[in-house]
Chains A and B, each alone.
Chain A
Amino acid sequence: MSEGYEILTLDEVEAAPHRGSNLIPVRHTLGFRPAGVNAWIADAGGQLIPPHEEDSGNEELYAVVRGRATFTVGEETADAPAGTLVYVPPEVFRTAAAAEDGTIVFAVGGSVGEAFNPGGWDSFALAVGYAQSGRLHEARAIMAQLIAEKPDYWPTYYNAGCFEAQAGNADAAFEHLRRAKELDAGGDSDEYFRGDTDLDPLREDPRFQEFLS
């Protein structure tokens, strides 16, 4: 096979735990750039898509690839056998659960009128998953990759800080968090510093005070 293309079998990709669901990190694995693409896998009764809303302008399409899902969008619920496509406009609540074992839902997302710009939440979920199973080396490699891709994007440093806090490395955590704070000119991170439970291991450390300004 040439460099220019790649084949992927969804249920052979290592899934990462993310907010009560199992993420198949398609975008991260392939490096696909035009849109957000990922998949979710669960057995009967399990959560497929974490309950959430998308930001203004962010459209999503879900395709049931295998099995059967139950979608909830807004206040409606619908049975979705394999081959069903579900479109969800921005700012509308959505979640889905599996109704059969091995159900897979493929998700595509993007913002109207904007070039797709991956926030990296999916890569971060993968890093957290690795960290939770003790594979810190692989987790750090992903965080280093995210930072290299977007060296001026504060959320990546913030997430790297959370990750090191959870791993018990306060010094490394503070280094990342300081960089996040420097880059976040608009103060968008303030509320996270105040309330994010990921940072709880650092809150008793005197150095944490500088982030609560």
Chain B
Amino acid sequence: MNTVHIDELDRNEMSDGFVWRPVRRHFGIQAFGTNVYTPGASGRVIEEHTENVYGHEEIYLVLRGRVRFTVDGDDHDLGQGQLIFLRDPSLRRGAVALTDDAAVLTVGGKPGAPHEVSAWEYTFAAGPHLRAGRYDEARRLLHEGLEAKPGNPAIRYDLACVEALAGESDKALELLNEAVEADERFREYAQTDEDFASIRDDPRFPR
């Protein structure tokens, strides 16, 4: 039987302190998006974000412990067996743990559309390897993402970060310019991104 306890799932601590525990990826689920999140060093459980890019409806179900959700500026403390459903993708949402054992299950997708694996799953999976200097593993996961989502600018941008940190300046600049060409927001992100310190003075760096 294909079972796993939430504490046995992979533990990917992200840069702003929450821990992503991939569920869809663990089981290879294709029909819907689902993950578990637990608190990391900062106590954050769900990163502050909107779903404007993906247009997803989301459910956050507390599986264990207590969690403070902030939605559209309002706080809601939820315990085991309580869920919050966000119909409106534009609402800013995030959560912090009120107890160390907190765990939240998420389910999300775009109404009326077949589920597509989101690009962030690949960039999230590569993130901890990138931070730890395991560039080959980060590259492998991001290339897997580009195979599934050809030309995706967010994945190209992260791959540019990997190449810049790994000293592959030409590759980094090429990927970064492709990302910026596809989505202008990456031009702005690149200006302050420390990962690009080694290529910022290159005339090819997007201004």
B91–A61 CB distance below 8 A: no
B64–A33 CB distance below 8 A: no
Instruction: Specify the main secondary structure of chain B where it touches its partner.
Output: strand
Please report which residues of chain B, range 25-74, place their CB below 8 angstroms from some CB of chain A when the two chains form the complex. Answer: 27, 29-34, 36, 56-57, 59, 61, 63-64, 71-72, 74
Please give, as numbers and ranges, the residues of chain B lying within 8 Å of A35 by CB-CB distance. Answer: 31-32, 107, 109, 115
Least Cβ distance of A181 to chain B in Å?
29
Shortest Cβ distance from B84 into A: residue: A7
Candidate in A10, A11, A78 with the most chain B CB atoms within 10 angstroms:
A10
Shortest Cβ distance from B62 into A: residue: A65
Please report which residues of chain B, range 107-130, place their CB below 8 angstroms from some CB of chain A when the two chains form the complex. Answer: 107-115
Partner of A4, one of B63, B83, B91, B109: B91
Q: List 12 A-B contacts (CB under 8 A).
A: A5-B91, A6-B85, A8-B84, A8-B85, A10-B83, A31-B87, A34-B56, A35-B115, A63-B63, A83-B7, A110-B31, A114-B114
Shortest Cβ distance from A34 into B: residue: B109
Please give, as numbers and ranges, the residues of chain A lying within 8 Å of B93 by CB-CB distance. Answer: 5
Which one of A101-109, A125-133, A167-175, A189-197 is at the interface?
Answer: A101-109
In the complex, whether A121 has a CB less than 8 A from a CB of chain B is no
In the complex, whether A208 has a CB less than 8 A from a CB of chain B is no
In the complex, whether A9 has a CB less than 8 A from a CB of chain B is yes
Report if A34-B57 is in contact (Cβ < 8 Å); known contacts: A2-B91, A76-B1.
Answer: yes
Q: What is the size, in residues, of chain B's interface with A at 8 Å between Cβ atoms?
A: 50
Please report which residues of chain A, range 81-115, place their CB below 8 angstroms from some CB of chain B when the two chains form the complex. Answer: 81-89, 104, 106, 108-115
Partner of A104, one of B4, B56, B81, B84: B81
Total A-B contacts with CB atoms under 8 angstroms apart: 156
A residues with a Cβ closer than 8 A to B are: 1-11, 26, 30-35, 37, 57-59, 61, 63, 65-66, 71, 73-74, 76, 78, 80-89, 104, 106, 108-116
Report if A58-B31 is in contact (Cβ < 8 Å); known contacts: A65-B81, A73-B1.
Answer: yes
B85–A115 CB distance below 8 A: no
Least Cβ distance of A36 to chain B in Å?
9
